[in-house]
Amino acid sequence: MAQQSDDSSWWQSAKNHASEIIDKGDDAVYVSGWAHHGRSTYTKEKLNELNEHAWGLGYGKTMRNEDGNDESLYGFVLKDSHRHPQIMAGYAYEWVFPISHTPLEVGIGGTAMLMSRQDYFGGVPFPVPLPLASIGTKKAKIMFSYVPRLSPNKNSGDVLLVFGRIEM
List residues with catalytic annotation: 37, 80-81
Residue type (1 letter), 22: I
The three-class DSSP label of residue 41 is coil
Contact present, 28 and 76 (Cβ < 8 Å): no
Phi, psi angle pair for 136, to nearest 5°: 155, -155
For 104-136, give the DSSP string: -EEEEEEEEEEEEBTTBGGG--EEEEEEEEEEE
Question: CA-to-CA distance for 14 and 34, rounded, in angstroms?
Answer: 32
**Are 70 and 98 a contacting pair, CB within 8 Å?**
no
CB 42 within 8 A of CB 72: no
Exposure on the CB side of residue 155, measured as CA atoms within 13 A: 9
